Amino acid sequence: MPKLVVDGKEIEFKQGQTIIEAAKEAGNTIPHFCWHPSLSVSGNCRVCLVEVEKMPKLVIACSTLAAEGMIVHTASEKALAARNAVMEFLLINHPLDCPICDEAGECKLQDYAYAHGVGESRFVEEKTHKDKRVPLGPNIMFDGDRCISCSRCIRFCDEIAGAPELTFVKRGDRVTIVTYPGRQLENPYAMNVVDICPVGALTNRDFRFKARVWDMSANKTICQGCSRGCNIELWVRNNEILRITPRQNDEVNSYWMCDHGRLNTFKFVNADDRVDGPYLRREGSLAKVGWDEAFAAAASELKQFNKNEIAFIGSAFASCEDNYMLREFALNVIGSRHIDFMRHSDSNFGDEILRKNDITPNTMGAELVGVTPAAGGLNFDGIINSINEGKIKALYLIEDDILSANPELENTLAKLNLFIVHSSNFNKTTTLADIVFPAAAYAEKNGTMVNFQGRIQRLMPAVATLEQDRSLDGMAMSRLDKFGTRFDRWAKGNKRDVRPTWKIILSLSAAAGYKLIRQAQANMAEDIFEIMSKKIDAFKGLDYDKIGEKGIMLKIDVAEKA
């Protein structure tokens, strides 16, 4: 491979790479605002000016191709002088009110000003004034004063979202960003502009001014909005999720996620309708009981039925571990062959960018772990028909509000003699349940899911529960999590009495007198995965470390599975 020298260090580069790309790969990030690895080069911010030996003028690292033998200085006297000059220009008309800016703490301008600014302003004139608090769309607020005209948002809309809803208007320092009068920035990916805005010009209306960045922890996991499984971060303060941002994964979602995933996949975790402990139906209504009582009740109720009268419905919303344990329970404890899960597809949801019509995160995982009818068993429709015919009398359902998805099932489910449900929230389906176990939400557990590509990815917890500790269980820690005391406002978060489905099933089988797995082997989701990796071909040789934070492709024929 060809080589160039950046700051005295020889690095390799691929033909066609720019200086900034080559240096970044070698771990030397040259300061930049307008350049973004996934967008076209615009070269307008000028902060990446570097000195290249034998070139008469400084060049911008974002557009200058790396060449064999090139010698680049990113911090020479000349390069630093230019960078300081550009920083000064960017700051003269930028409000210097970081303490009241929502971007503070994750602002490139703030970071670079701290690293590269001279720390003193020579500007004594009046700053330019532009429109503030302009709602560009239903979810995005624009502050013209803070904008540094880097054009990242415009390029994102043009190049990634395919919806050129934004444009520069006017010239010079009057330049600002608008939508066409009467139109909005509302494409399904619009909110990514908030993430890539290097300053506080574009903010998330659902989140702005709710929390300081440094008061939150950022927890890596995957989006539950569809079968893409975009890699995301859950931002948590006081054990409450406040926002989701995408996490870079070039194989899955690049730097992006859709607004639906960002806005609609975390609020249920914080919601008031969470199932906050096991519930039993008594005299017609659900009553909260202790765990042991719930397990005993479920075990004895299940024993009232012939194994062929009990059906199991897994979930494309639940993890592989949860689905796998349900299957083991159905086949090995109860001995039923009737097991399947409901498919959720929305032909209006998918697009050519990220969104898929399969609006569940783990269809392929559920199939791979065998939540499909065993030989001679009934599939989902067969189970429904058999309930209607009175052949199936008991149903065990995990983590899927099937009644909301299909309201026509109401009469069917009402016919059941026993209906056991694992659910994170009370919903239409739980209203018909006889026993409800409080299932940990995706944000409260470890686990794995397989996306539409056949890529297995990890769920990692972001929210502590009664049985899962933020610090001991390795969740990300904010400043408040680390140093907060009970006198601090945001250090007292509410912990819920919920457990992951796999764990509930293990306890239930124990209560029913079966040792599904030796308890010592199964303290963590990881242990369940270890068992799966021995039994399921697709998972052979894998463990959580190998899957890592960005997932790994399974060696399966995806076309066949799909």
Partner 1 sequence: MEKIVLPDIKDLHLIDVYIKNNGFNAVKKALLQKPDDIIDQVKRSGLRGRGGAAFSTGLKWSFMPKTTDKPKYLCVNGDESEPGSFKDRQIFEYNPHQLIEGILITCYAIGAKTAYVYIRGEYHKWIKLFQKALDDAYSQGYVGKGMKTKFQTDFFCDIYVHKGAGAYICGEESSLMNSLEGKRGYPRVKPPFPAQFGLWGCPTTINNVETITNVPAIINNGWEWFSKIGEPKHPGTILYGISGHVNKPGVYELPSGMLLTDLIYNYAGGVPGNKKILCVIPGGSSMPPLRGDKIEGVKMDAESLKAVGTSIGTGGIIVMDEDTDLVKVLARIAKFYYHESCGQCTPCREGTGWMLKILNRILNNEGSSKDLDLLISVASNIEGNTICALGEAAAWPVKFMVQRFRDYFEKRVSPEVLIPVANKVHSMRHTAFPIADIKE
Partner 2 sequence: MTNFKFTEENLKKIDEIIKKYPVKRPAVMPVLYIAQEQNGWISQEVMLEVAKILDMHPEEVLGIVTFYTMYYQKPMGKYHIQVCTNVSCMLRGAYEIYDRVKDKLGIGNMQVTGDKIFSLEEVECMGSCGTAPMIAVNEDYYENLSKEKVEEILESLKKS
Tell me the closest approach of the beta carbon of residue 24 to partner 1, in angstroms.
10
195 within 8 A of 103, measured Cβ to Cβ: no
The footprint of partner 2 on residues 136-165 (CB under 8 A) is: 164-165
483 binds, among partner 2, partner 1, none (CB under 5 to 8 A by kind): none
Q: Is 128 or 184 the residue whose CB approaches partner 1 more closely?
A: 128
Answer for which of 8, 54, 99, 125 binds partner 1 (CB under 8 A) is 125
Q: Is 171 or 486 the residue whose CB approaches partner 2 more closely?
A: 171
Q: Which residues pair with 222 in a beta bridge?
A: 231
Category of 284 on φ-ψ map: left (φ > 0), alpha (ψ -120 to 50) or beta: left
Q: How many CB atoms lie within 10 A of CB 267?
A: 10
Tell me the closest approach of the beta carbon of residue 481 to partner 1, in angstroms.
19
Q: Is 230 or 298 the residue whose CB approaches partner 1 more closely?
A: 230
User: Does residue 135 belong to the site contacting partner 2 (CB under 8 A)?
Assistant: no
Considering Cα of 41, then 44, then 48, then 54, what sign does the dihedral take?
Answer: positive
Reduced to 3 states (helix: H, G, I; strand: E, B; else coil), residue 312 is: strand
User: For the CA atoms of 44, 14, 457, 218, what is the dihedral angle to 10 degrees?
Assistant: -40
Q: Is 18 or 179 the residue whose CB approaches partner 2 more closely?
A: 179
Q: Is 57 or 518 the residue whose CB approaches partner 1 more closely?
A: 57
- x/- letters, 19..58, toward partner 1 (CB under 8 A): ---------xx-x----xxx--xxxxxxx-x-------xx
181 binds, among partner 2, partner 1, none (CB under 5 to 8 A by kind): partner 2
Tell me the closest approach of the beta carbon of residue 440 to partner 2, in angstroms.
45
Tell me the closest approach of the beta carbon of residue 187 to partner 1, in angstroms.
20
454 within 8 A of 364, measured Cβ to Cβ: yes
Q: How many residues bind partner 1 (CB under 8 A)?
A: 61
The footprint of partner 1 on residues 168-187 (CB under 8 A) is: 168, 170-175
Q: Is 58 or 154 the residue whose CB approaches partner 2 more closely?
A: 154
Which range touches partner 1 (CB under 8 A), out of 109-117, 439-447, 475-483, 540-548? Answer: 109-117
Per the listing, tokens 């249920």 go with: 268
396 within 8 A of 310, measured Cβ to Cβ: yes
* Helix count and strand count (H, E) for the chain: 18, 23
123 binds, among partner 2, partner 1, none (CB under 5 to 8 A by kind): partner 1
Give 208's Cβ-side CA count (13 Å radius).
20
What is the per-residue DSSP string for 280-311?
Answer: EEETTEEEE--HHHHHHHHHHHHTTS-GGGEE
Reduced to 3 states (helix: H, G, I; strand: E, B; else coil), residue 411 is: helix
Tell me the closest approach of the beta carbon of residue 306 to partner 1, in angstroms.
57
Q: How many CB atoms lie within 10 A of CB 38?
A: 15
Considering Cα of 194, then 200, then 202, then 207, what sign does the dihedral take?
Answer: positive
- x/- letters, 162..201, toward partner 2 (CB under 8 A): --xxxxxxxx------xxxxxx------------------
Both tokens assigned to 132: 């503030």
Tell me the closest approach of the beta carbon of residue 11 to partner 1, in angstroms.
15
Instruction: Give which of 149, 146, 46 is closest to 96, Cα–Cα.
Output: 146
Tell me the closest approach of the beta carbon of residue 221 to partner 1, in angstroms.
17
Tell me the closest approach of the beta carbon of residue 180 to partner 2, in angstroms.
4
Instruction: Give which of 182, 94, 168, 188 is closest to 136, Cα–Cα.
Output: 182
165 binds, among partner 2, partner 1, none (CB under 5 to 8 A by kind): partner 2
Both tokens assigned to 20: 């900034």
User: Does residue 255 belong to the site contacting partner 1 (CB under 8 A)?
Assistant: yes
Strands 394-398 and 310-314: parallel
183 binds, among partner 2, partner 1, none (CB under 5 to 8 A by kind): partner 2
Tell me the closest approach of the beta carbon of residue 462 to partner 1, in angstroms.
18
CB-based contacts of 177-186 (< 8 A; 24+ apart in sequence): 177/136, 177/142, 177/144, 177/147, 177/149, 177/153, 177/201, 178/134, 178/136, 179/136, 179/137, 184/136, 184/137, 184/138, 185/136, 185/137, 185/140, 185/157, 186/137, 186/138, 186/139
CA–CA dist 201, 82 (Å, integer): 24
Instruction: Give which of 97, 457, 478 is closest to 253, Cα–Cα.
Output: 457
197 binds, among partner 1, partner 2, none (CB under 5 to 8 A by kind): none
115 binds, among partner 1, partner 2, none (CB under 5 to 8 A by kind): partner 1
Tell me the closest approach of the beta carbon of residue 164 to partner 1, in angstroms.
12
Rounded to 5°, the CA angle 327-330-334 comes to: 160
Both tokens assigned to 174: 């009057």
44 binds, among partner 1, partner 2, none (CB under 5 to 8 A by kind): partner 1
Category of 496 on φ-ψ map: left (φ > 0), alpha (ψ -120 to 50) or beta: beta
- x/- letters, 186..225, toward partner 1 (CB under 8 A): ---------xx-----------------------------
CA–CA dist 493, 147 (Å, integer): 35
- x/- letters, 87..106, toward partner 1 (CB under 8 A): -xxx-xx--x---------x
Instruction: Give which of 242, 243, 267 is closest to 490, Cα–Cα.
Output: 242
Per the listing, tokens 């349900």 go with: 326
Q: How many residues bind partner 2 (CB under 8 A)?
A: 14
118 binds, among partner 1, partner 2, none (CB under 5 to 8 A by kind): partner 1
The secondary structure of residue 431, as a DSSP letter, is G
114 binds, among partner 2, partner 1, none (CB under 5 to 8 A by kind): partner 1
Q: How many CB atoms lie within 10 A of CB 464?
A: 21
Tell me the closest approach of the beta carbon of residue 181 to partner 1, in angstroms.
18
Q: What is the binding site for partner 2 (CB under 8 A)?
A: 164-171, 178-183
Q: What is the binding site for partner 1 (CB under 8 A)?
A: 28-29, 31, 36-38, 41-47, 49, 57-58, 60, 63, 75, 80, 82-83, 85-86, 88-90, 92-93, 96, 106, 108, 111-112, 114-126, 128, 148-149, 168, 170-175, 195-196, 248, 255
